[in-house]
Structure 1
Amino acid sequence: MLIAAPAETDHGETRVAASPETVKKFAALGADVAVQDGAGDKAGFPDADYRSAGARLVSADEALAADVVLKVRRPTAQEIPRLKPGALVIATMDPYGHRDAIEAMAKARIAAFAMELLPRITRAQVMDVLSSQANLAGYRAVIDAAAEFGRAMPMMMTPAGTVTAARLFVMGVGVAGLQAIATGRRLGAVVTANDVRPATKEQVESLGAKFVAVEDEEFKQAETAGGYAKEMSDGYKAKQAALVATHIAKQDIVVTTALIPGRPAPRLITADMVKSMHAGSVIVDLAVERGGNCELSRPGELAISDNGVKIVGYSNVTRIPASASALYARNLYAFVETLIDKATKSLAVHWDDELVKATCLTRDGAVVHPAFATE
């Protein structure tokens, strides 16, 4: 049983899917572990650390030919033909809207697992890549905002006068939003936040922030059974937009985190709202890779509006790759551990297991996940 982690080929991706820590753990399960030369360099994990942990350093072709291939991002069109038929390929697959890539993996006869499709159940918490990465993204968003903001974050009383605290508004209170609130509070900002899910109000207030939302009857029903935000009506969106437009004009920093699974990111900040903000204020858009919550954000760029508002569109988790890789690698280890028979030290996938069924996209030449099988 060979478990391998190839280097990521996306030019902006700095993370790696295995750490020296998880290499040791996989070896303890009886696996032969391989890591592509240089795969962990950008994450601060040198080849020597992998070698000391028990991994073999191999070429990209050998890593991609393993029985279990661990990746951060979905295999590329160039990588898929090099995967071994029957192999398990585990990554964040970003399957929505990428039907061609899913079919290509099916044609290659690999078993592709999308870690972001894990169910939100107690058993899967240790494997939850969305939470581990979003937590870091929320933290980094506020650090990026503080770096771009030309003033101090906390209130400071000095002999030369008082520096007022920065006003931080967090839009979307999932894992990333909650961490952004907590980080902003630790840095001394006056924090407000909003979300369409009523359950988040108590969470926001427990962190010392003020909740801002139109709290009507639709708002009270705005959460799915799985804990995600529902798509709101046009009427509610108009009322919420009016409230936000008034509030956002007074803010120094805005962090947006709103995402809806399988859909483009909801547009929360219009160009007119950006125009209402003062010069030097900062927007950090964590949904920029899904189309963005801000109309003016650009993936991978720092944009500056005509009135001097800075709009940060960086991929946050790739800017703290050591921590992001360490947590992601632990998520993958926890999942792969459930696929290994510890007595025989071999792969033993239980295809009826709820975690396997929830995440398996392709198997035996077919697209098997019900959400994508008939797209």
Structure 2
Amino acid sequence: MIYFDNSATTLISPTVLESYNQVSEKFFGNPSSLHRLGDQAQQVLTSARQQIADLLHCEPEEIFFTSGGSEGDNWIIKGTALEKRKFGRHIITTAIEHPAVANSVRQLEKLGYEITDLPVDHQGHIDPHDLAQALRAETILVSIMAVNNEVGSIQPLTEAARILDDYPTVHFHVDAVQAVGKGLEQVLQDPRIDFLTFSGHKFHAPRGVGFIYAKKGRKIAPLISGGGQEHNWRSGTENVAAIAAMAKAFRLAKSDLPGKIERQNQLRKLLIEHLETLPNVRVFSQLDATFAPHVVCFAIRGVRGETLVHTFEQHEIYLSTTSACSSRNGTESITLQAMHVPDQWATSAIRVSLDENNTLAEMEEFIKVLDQIHQHFQILN
């Protein structure tokens, strides 16, 4: 089996799974309970929070645990809208955000908020000048993803941050779900970024757990009310085992980063250079530094993306159309639409997404199968 769908979800690391099982067995108390078992579980949470904060170079009080990326995006966007509604109702985002962001702002739009979607160029990047032009007195939030999940384009976050230096009251949120271990660590530590969203299952942690970074002094309204967990910001009994496992996975993801990134870049380069030799193939991801090392999006003209996904599956190769979240409901790629890719190409797009565990042998086998599939459909067309 070759698994090239890591942007959708990663395989949980064996050592992370071992940690999850151990914590589940040994620290099963409710962290809010006053007895010794509760204290032990609370200590595990405190340790996990500190580990993540150390890796992000922030304070543990700035880390809040969630159920994953979708909750984190929803919370920051809607929580900002609720907290700052008396100061303004204008939100700026981009035309290529993940549905967790895009659908959140559309909900707010129905409630009277005004949304500006920044356009992208043909490679999927926003122009910082457009952000500068869009900002106004009633703007309360700017939400820009770090790495696009469909084509891998890296957004100019540093340039956006410098523009927002002149707007200190505007919340700046970055969806960093696809950015862990991809060489953006320094960018994500920019002091102007107020909020970051992370999801554990994107870096070999269990599903159903994530966290946000919320800069000290910035406030968002809670969306989940209840027992007052997470400093009264996010209620609900914490998933202690998953949180502990996520903290370990986050640490492992940040180890040996140059080597991991280089290996992914080598595989990406090999694939893109081969794709560029094939007729009736269009590649939407580029090899330059403005693209993440793990995503390659391409299309074979005249063959729908879902057909290609199932054809590769027959060879025990697993990938996806441009976004796993839109694959099953048949939604076309919002990123390729925003890039003004013609429908005949956009509906044929598929995504290969790598991680540090993929090998040269796997990529060579993939290319061999790709050539067979490409030749087959060229004959049919």
TM range (shorter): 0.3 to 0.5
TM-score normalised according to structure 1 size:
0.34
User: By percentage of residues, which structure has more strand?
Assistant: 1
Larger radius of gyration: 1
User: By percentage of residues, which structure has more helix?
Assistant: 2
TM-score normalised according to structure 2 size:
0.34
RCO (CA 8 Å, sep 6+): is it higher in 1 or 2? 2
